[in-house]
């Protein structure tokens, strides 16, 4: 699943591409990642896409009020690997997601409002005081807090690690152990990194492409993510990796001092094979 900058990039691209289009029909493939697939078939046809917005890592397609009566129930379709929305200009909006980590739902106004309540602050907008209270009263690890969509919406593994490196904070530090200045630094670098990543149209590690089919460029600016064993851009110390909050976490052991008792994973051994570089 992409993170905030990638979703923002695709959202902007789709806004240009499908705003104002009308959905003609829906074709469903595998649907085990959709709570109520038939709701899509029932409620989407005939509706116009009136807004394309990002909310955290999700994209919201706001639809016109339902017009005529309910559409006739569509037949269940053969299994595909994606969802297709056929549009009134003959194009198709396709949802492809091999790992099926994405989610799709049809939500009317009230259920949508309920759903959105589950998410925390927008990391691009959150103010100093609120961010501080979200972090400094918590005894969870800062990495876990950054990844928790109930705390902040939109941050994932890449941008959590990049922000912590830039703020010189170790991912395993407890939120409550950050001082005011560290919390404020983290809030600012997180915002700056996300903004820069949006300008660069997101990070393409292996397969992320935007709405025009182009890769992003922010991976060129990654400072720690995926750089285990390579030298820190600030101090030249080899970057280490550890599992924090259940996720691979990259950090500089020199710039980001670990809490007591913390152990990083051993650097990958070059036991036999020589690495070319």
Please, what sign has the CA dihedral across residues 268, 142, 232, 158?
Answer: positive
Contact region with DNA (CB under 7 A), list: 12-20, 38-46, 106-114, 266-274: 266-274
207 binds DNA (CB under 7 A): yes
For DNA, give the closer residue by CB, 58 or 232: 58
Contact region with DNA (CB under 7 A), list: 41-49, 67-75, 97-105, 193-201: 97-105
111 binds DNA (CB under 7 A): no
Bridge pairing between strands 58-63 and 49-55? antiparallel
Tell me whether residue 2 is one of the annotated catalytic residues: yes
Tell me whether residue 103 is one of the annotated catalytic residues: no
Per-residue CA distances from 56 to 18, 99, 117, 130 (Å): 20, 20, 12, 17
Mapped onto helix, strand or coil, the DSSP state of residue 60 is: strand
**CB 161 → DNA: shortest distance, Å?**
9
Catalytic residue, from 12, 77, 191, 247: name it: 247
For DNA, give the closer residue by CB, 90 or 269: 269
206 binds DNA (CB under 7 A): yes
Tell me, rounded to whole angstroms, the distance of Cα 246 from its chain centroid. Answer: 17
Catalytic residue, from 15, 47, 54, 57: name it: 57
Q: Which two tokens stand for residue 189?
A: 């670098």
Q: By C-alpha distance, which of 268, 242, 257, 260 is closest to 165?
A: 257
Among 75, 78, 90, 99, interactor with DNA by CB under 7 A: 99
* Residue 228 CB-half CA count within 13 A: 14
219 binds DNA (CB under 7 A): yes
Beta bridge partners of 62: 51
Beta bridge partners of 242: 249
**CB 120 → DNA: shortest distance, Å?**
11
Stated length of the chain = 277
Contact region with DNA (CB under 7 A), list: 61-69, 139-147, 179-187, 232-240: 139-147
For DNA, give the closer residue by CB, 23 or 144: 144
Among 272, 274, 276, 277, interactor with DNA by CB under 7 A: 272
**CB 175 → DNA: shortest distance, Å?**
7
Q: Contact, 173 vs 146, CB < 8 A?
A: no
**CB 273 → DNA: shortest distance, Å?**
7
Residue 128 and residue 122: Cα distance in Å, rounded?
A: 12
**CB 43 → DNA: shortest distance, Å?**
22
Tell me whether residue 247 is one of the annotated catalytic residues: yes
Residue with structure tokens 């990638």? 6
Bridge pairing between strands 92-96 and 82-87? antiparallel
Tell me, rounded to whole angstroms, the distance of Cα 112 from its chain centroid. Answer: 19
Contact region with DNA (CB under 7 A), list: 8-16, 17-25, 40-48, 239-247: 239-247
Residues whose CB falls within 8 Å of the CB of residue 271, separated by 6 or more in sequence, listed in order: none
Residues with catalytic annotation? Answer: 2-3, 57, 247
Binding site for DNA (CB under 7 A): 1-3, 6, 32, 57, 98-101, 138-141, 144, 147, 149, 156-158, 174, 203-208, 219, 243-248, 268-269, 271-273
């Amino acid at each position: 699943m992409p993170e905030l900058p990638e979703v923002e990039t695709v959202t902007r691209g789709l806004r240009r591409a499908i705003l104002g289009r009308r959905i003609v029909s829906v074709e469903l493939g595998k649907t085990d990642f959709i709570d109520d697939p038939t709701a899509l078939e029932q409620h989407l046809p005939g509706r116009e896409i009136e807004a394309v917005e990002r909310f955290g890592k999700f994209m919201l397609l706001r639809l016109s009020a339902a017009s005529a009566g309910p559409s006739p129930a569509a037949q269940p379709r053969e299994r595909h690997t994606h969802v297709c929305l056929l549009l009134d200009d003959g194009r198709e909006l396709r949802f492809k997601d091999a790992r099926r980590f994405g989610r799709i739902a049809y939500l009317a106004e009230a259920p949508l409002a309920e759903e959105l309540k589950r998410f925390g602050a927008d990391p691009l907008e959150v103010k100093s005081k609120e961010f501080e209270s979200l972090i400094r009263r918590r005894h969870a690890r800062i990495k876990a807090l950054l990844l928790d969509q109930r705390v902040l919406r939109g941050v994932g593994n890449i941008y959590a690690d990049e922000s912590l490196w830039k703020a010189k904070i170790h991912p395993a530090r407890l939120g409550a152990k950050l001082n005011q200045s560290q919390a404020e630094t983290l809030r600012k670098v997180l915002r700056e990194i996300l903004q820069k990543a949006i300008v660069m149209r997101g990070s393409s590690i292996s397969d992320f492409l935007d709405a025009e089919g182009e890769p992003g460029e922010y991976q060129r600016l990654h400072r720690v993510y995926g750089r285990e064993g390579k030298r820190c851009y600030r101090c030249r110390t080899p970057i280490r990796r550890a599992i924090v909050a259940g996720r691979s976490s990259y950090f500089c052991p020199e710039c980001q001092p670990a809490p007591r008792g913390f152990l990083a994973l051993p650097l990958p051994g070059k036991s036999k094979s020589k690495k070319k570089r």
